């Protein structure tokens, strides 16, 4: 053979061999071993391989997630949990493959925990509990006859060889990702012998958790964090002679299984086998023969359901929508939709138009922190970063009318105003009390009006001049005042305040004496910034001269003396109002249902009979419905245009003084809006976002003494191993669990589900 040809052939064979020996992605969970057969969960399916690893065989293919496989004592069957038809139920199938057989029909989730014999499977469910506590039920795989163990709380258990003694945990799992938990609901290992009067607690003298007991060869193996990392331990059936078997010092041992002299366990994303005598662990090199369907490019067909922010340009020609961390600019009528950036690994938040309607300002986490970036509204550039000092989440980007200033708030309850020319930023507020409601710039861009809670929690209104640093208090701390809005001439500030006391519950309040239910709390007020001004709502008389609109630029003047005492009520009936908007001719406000929702932004449900209300600014003020059945709306910075939402439809209208008779003519066409997602890049961003939000929202700035940056680095490599959104949640749970705090859990996301969803009852 030609030497050159032989060389090429050998190289080709070498490359081919190398490509098959390389391991692809794979996040391996829930191992169970019987002799040399190993089953586990990956990609939401049950797989099988040998203890030597290599190519694994997929046993299940249904879109519904499978979990917790358990091989029967004779090695012929595997029981597992699956959500094939809605509820999570127990199924059993031949270990060699075949049609699964459904064993349980419980409305509540049922999870297999162990085989009692070759024909009996034990599972846990809270279906038979008065409280949300798990009980153990044994079911015959042939007859489906069930027997409930006489234990009030019992889960994560296993039987001895004779099937007479059950080892279990109590209290049952608290459904938190907490690690190294010590407290009243910490799981402990118990045992119960058939026919005995009481169960016996085995684990003693340890405040932390011991759980997932497995009886094997005369000892009870279990998981515990006694050495700081969760590892496998064992003890005698009477609780004596506690020994440690695994010595993982980084990732917790999450699950384990035993057969003969072999211990198989999961740590991180990998499975390990360890000889019980030698104690030396070896990683099981597993290769999934899969097309990794859940890693494929994903298309979002209903982006409108993910909208988190809306901005309308001041010229009324464009709308910017932020959805799933992406920013899109739509024309009001005809034209092309623009996506500002196609970096799937970057999240964008709260995009707004600049004052001239040409550019977009948005928060971007491309640098690792949310910084302010500016993009061309035409999508023609890669944007420029305006800030570089982000340490926490920021919100509410609000550019000034002249485009020279930019205001925002952050999670520390600080209000910042940045000079866009010099880059210098000043803090407007004095305290760290809650900042709530919208901010509003004066017409001359010299003052910013905002609301902040006083020490008694009532919201007060202030105005701040970023040039001089002057701060003026507008309202008292005796009532809540919200949504400050400037008149176009800069002489008045309008706002909402809960100064009306009207209860739906009559007095006296009945035999059971319920609290009064306040409704129609909000009234509209305005305050003259100078003495001697007459309200535009005052009827014409000899003292009220006709006010002519000045032609020159507006200059705001504030007479502080007696300012709070000059507050006047606007002649609009009290109601459940929020989101006040002011134009030069009218007031607009959202009529919603009763309740605390009037104090916050956002929308209203159809049950609240919502409407966008309007009252002309004149001596003949008459309340009108500007647009009915409006769930929410967003307004341009100059208050000339509004995007109204009715259900899933959006309509762009001009804020005039005549009610809108036919919204359909102004419908924003989102019918062709779709976009793709690279799951791997998306998941990396979601992981970092979860890490960052936990840092920013956690009650202890010291993060319980945990090096939070180090934790991000520790678990980030596992994100490259995940193949499903559920596996990503598992990684995030591992990360968050390092804080050792209860009431923390991870759920949600684009999880894979089956088509069938059969409900009971």
Q: Residue 68 has which token pair?
A: 């917790």
Q: Give the span between the Cα atoms of 450 and 467, in whole angstroms.
A: 16
Give strand pairing partners of 22. none
- The reported pLDDT for the residue numbered 532 is 92
The pLDDT of residue 612 is 97
Residue 23 or 583, more confident: 583
What pLDDT is stored for residue 6 in this prediction? 41
- Of 157-171, 331-345, 525-539, 645-659, minimum mean pLDDT range: 331-345
- 712 is a domain residue: yes
**Mean pLDDT to the nearest integer, 312-317:** 97
Q: Name the percent of the chain lying above pLDDT 70.
A: 94
Indicate whether 9 pLDDT > 60. no
Query: Tens digit of pLDDT for each residue in 534-555?
Result: 999 998 876 666 666 667 899 9
pLDDT at 217 over 60: yes
**Is the model's pLDDT at 408 over the cut of 50?**
yes
Q: To which H or E segment does residue 463 belong?
A: strand 459-464
Q: Is residue 261 part of a domain?
A: no
- Pairing, β 286-288 against β 53-58: parallel
pLDDT in tens, 112-144: 999 999 999 999 999 998 777 899 999 999 999
- Residue 739 domain-assigned (yes or no): yes
Instruction: For CA atoms 352, 353, 355, 361, give the dihedral sign.
Output: positive
Rounded distance between C-alpha atoms, residue 153 and residue 169, angstroms = 8
For residue 397, the model assigns a pLDDT of 97
Over residues 613-628, the mean pLDDT reads 94
Could you report the per-residue pLDDT of 347-383, keeping only the tens digit for each? Answer: 999 999 999 999 999 999 999 999 999 999 988 778 8
Taking CA atoms, 598 is separated from 396, 483, 607, 630, in Å, by 19, 11, 15, 15
Question: HEC states along 262-288?
Answer: EEEEEECCEEEEEECCCCCEEECCEEE
pLDDT given at position 661 = 86
Q: If phi over 0 gives left and psi between -120 and 50 gives alpha, with beta otherwise, what is residue 508?
A: beta
Q: What is the pTM of this model?
A: 0.91
Question: Is 422 inside any structural domain?
Answer: no
Residue closest to 272 by CA, chosen among 288, 260, 254: 254
Domain count of the fold of the chain: 1
Rounded mean pLDDT of 459-467? 97
Q: Is residue 657 part of a domain?
A: no
What are the E-state strand segments in 64-209?
66-71, 77-82, 89-94, 101-102, 111-117, 120-125, 135-140, 146-148, 155-159, 165-170, 188-193, 200-201
Do the Cβ atoms of 148 and 137 come closer than 8 Å? yes
Question: What 3-state DSSP class applies to 257?
Answer: strand
What percent of the chain lies above the pLDDT cut of 90?
Answer: 82
Per-residue pLDDT at 286: 97
**400: Cβ–Cβ under 8 A, 6 or more apart, which residues?**
355, 406, 407, 441, 445, 448
Q: What is the mean pLDDT of the chain?
A: 92
Reported confidence tier of residue 750, pLDDT bands at 50, 70, 90: confident
**Separation CA 411–CA 341 (nearest Å):** 26
- Region 207-235: mean pLDDT is 97
Phi, psi of 653, rounded to the nearest 5 degrees: -130, 160
- 607 phi-psi bin (left φ>0, alpha ψ -120 to 50, beta other): alpha
Tell me the pLDDT band of 7, cut-offs 50, 70 and 90. very low
Query: Per-residue DSSP letters for 176-225?
Result: ---SS--STT--EEEEEETT-SS-EE---S-SS-EEEEEEETTEEEEEE-
Q: Residue 171, preceding bond cis, omega within 30 degrees?
A: yes
What mean pLDDT comes out for the span 453-479?
96
Helix axes 679-697, 708-719, angle to 10 degrees: 160
Q: Does residue 342 fall inside a structural domain?
A: no
Q: Which of 638, 580, 641, 639 is CA-nearest to residue 614?
A: 580
Are 401 and 445 spatial neighbours (Cβ–Cβ below 8 Å)?
yes
Model confidence at 756: pLDDT above 80: no
pLDDT value for 438: 85
Q: Which domain holds residue 730?
A: 694-722+724-761
Output the pLDDT for position 344: 80
Contact (Cβ atoms closer than 8 angstroms) between residue 430 and residue 424: no
* 408 belongs to a structural domain: no
Residue 609 has a pLDDT of: 93
């Amino acid at each position: 053979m030609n030497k050159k040809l032989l060389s090429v052939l050998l190289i080709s064979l070498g490359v081919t061999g190398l490509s098959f020996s390389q391991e692809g992605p794979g996040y391996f969970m829930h191992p169970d071993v019987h002799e040399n057969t190993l089953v586990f969960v990956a990609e939401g399916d049950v797989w099988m391989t040998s203890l030597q690893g290599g190519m694994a065989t997929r046993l299940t293919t249904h879109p519904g997630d499978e979990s917790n496989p358990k091989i029967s004592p004779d090695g012929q069957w595997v029981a597992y949990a699956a959500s094939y038809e809605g509820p999570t139920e127990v199924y059993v199938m031949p270990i060699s493959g075949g049609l699964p057989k459904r064993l349980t029909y419980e409305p509540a989730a049922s999870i297999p925990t162990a085989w009692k014999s070759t024909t009996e499977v034990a599972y846990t469910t809270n279906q038979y509990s008065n409280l949300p506590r798990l009980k153990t039920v044994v079911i015959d795989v042939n007859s489906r006859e069930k027997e409930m163990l006489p234990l009030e709380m019992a889960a994560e258990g296993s039987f001895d060889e004779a099937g007479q003694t059950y080892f279990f945990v109590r209290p049952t799992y608290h459904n938190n990702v907490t690690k190294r938990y010590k407290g009243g609901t910490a799981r402990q290992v118990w045992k119960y012998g058939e026919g005995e009067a009481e169960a016996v607690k085995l684990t003693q003298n340890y405040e932390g958790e011991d759980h997932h007991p497995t009886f094997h060869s005369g000892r009870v193996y279990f998981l515990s964090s006694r050495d700081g990392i969760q590892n496998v331990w064992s003890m005698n059936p009477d609780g004596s002679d506690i020994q440690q078997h695994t010595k993982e010092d980084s990732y917790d041992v999450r699950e384990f299984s035993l057969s003969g002299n072999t211990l198989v366990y999961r740590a991180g994303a990998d499975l390990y086998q360890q000889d019980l005598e030698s104690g030396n662990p070896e990683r099981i090199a597993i290769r999934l023969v899969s097309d990794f369907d859940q890693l494929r490019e994903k298309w979002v067909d209903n982006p409108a359901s993910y909208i988190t922010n809306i901005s309308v340009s001041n010229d009324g020609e464009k709308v910017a929508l932020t959805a799933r961390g992406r920013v899109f600019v739509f024309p009001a009528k005809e034209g092309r939709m623009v996506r500002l950036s196609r970096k799937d690994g970057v999240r964008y938040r709260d995009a707004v138009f600049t004052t001239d309607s040409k550019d977009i300002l948005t928060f971007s986490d491309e640098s690792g922190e949310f910084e302010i970036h500016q993009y061309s509204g035409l999508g023609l550039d890669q944007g420029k970063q305006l800030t570089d000092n982000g340490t926490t989440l920021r919100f509410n980007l609000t550019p000034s009318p002249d485009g020279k200033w930019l205001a925002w708030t952050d999670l520390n309850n600080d209000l910042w105003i940045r000079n866009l020319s010099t880059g210098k930023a000043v803090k407007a507020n004095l305290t760290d009390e809650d900042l709530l409601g919208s901010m509003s710039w004066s017409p001359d861009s010299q003052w910013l009006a905002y609301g902040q809670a006083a020490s008694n929690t009532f919201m007060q209104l202030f105005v701040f001049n970023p040039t001089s640093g002057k701060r003026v208090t507008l309202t008292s701390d005796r009532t809540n005042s919200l949504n400050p809005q400037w008149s176009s001439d800069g002489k008045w500030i309008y706002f909402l305040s809960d100064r009306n006391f009207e209860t739906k519950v009559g007095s006296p309040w009945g035999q059971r004496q319920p609290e009064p239910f306040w409704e129609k709390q909000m009234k509209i007020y305005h305050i003259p910034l100078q003495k001697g001004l007459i309200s535009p709502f005052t009827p014409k008389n000899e003292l009220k001269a006709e006010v002519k609109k000045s032609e020159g630029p507006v200059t705001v003047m504030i007479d502080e003396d007696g300012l709070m005492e000059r507050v006047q009520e606007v002649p609009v009936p009290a109601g459940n109002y929020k989101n006040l908007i002011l134009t030069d001719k009218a007031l607009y406000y959202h009529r919603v249902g009763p309740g605390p929702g009037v104090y916050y932004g956002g929308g209203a449900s159809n049950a609240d009979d919502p409407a966008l209300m309007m009252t002309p600014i004149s001596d003949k003020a008459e309340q009108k419905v500007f647009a009915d059945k409006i769930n929410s709306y967003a307004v341009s910075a100059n208050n000339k245009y509004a995007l109204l939402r009715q259900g899933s439809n959006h309509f762009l209208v001009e804020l005039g003084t005549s009610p809108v008779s036919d919204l359909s003519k102004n419908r924003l066409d989102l019918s062709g809006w779709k976009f793709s997602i690279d799951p791997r890049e998306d998941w990396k961003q979601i992981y970092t976002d979860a890490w960052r939000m936990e840092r920013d929202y956690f009650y202890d700035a010291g993060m319980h003494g945990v090096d939070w940056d180090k934790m991000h680095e520790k678990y980030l490599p596992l994100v490259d191993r995940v193949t499903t959104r559920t596996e990503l949640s598992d990684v995030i749970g591992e990360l968050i669990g390092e804080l050792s705090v209860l009431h923390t859990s991870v759920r949600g996301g684009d999880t894979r589900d089956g088509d069938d969803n059969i409900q009971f009852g």
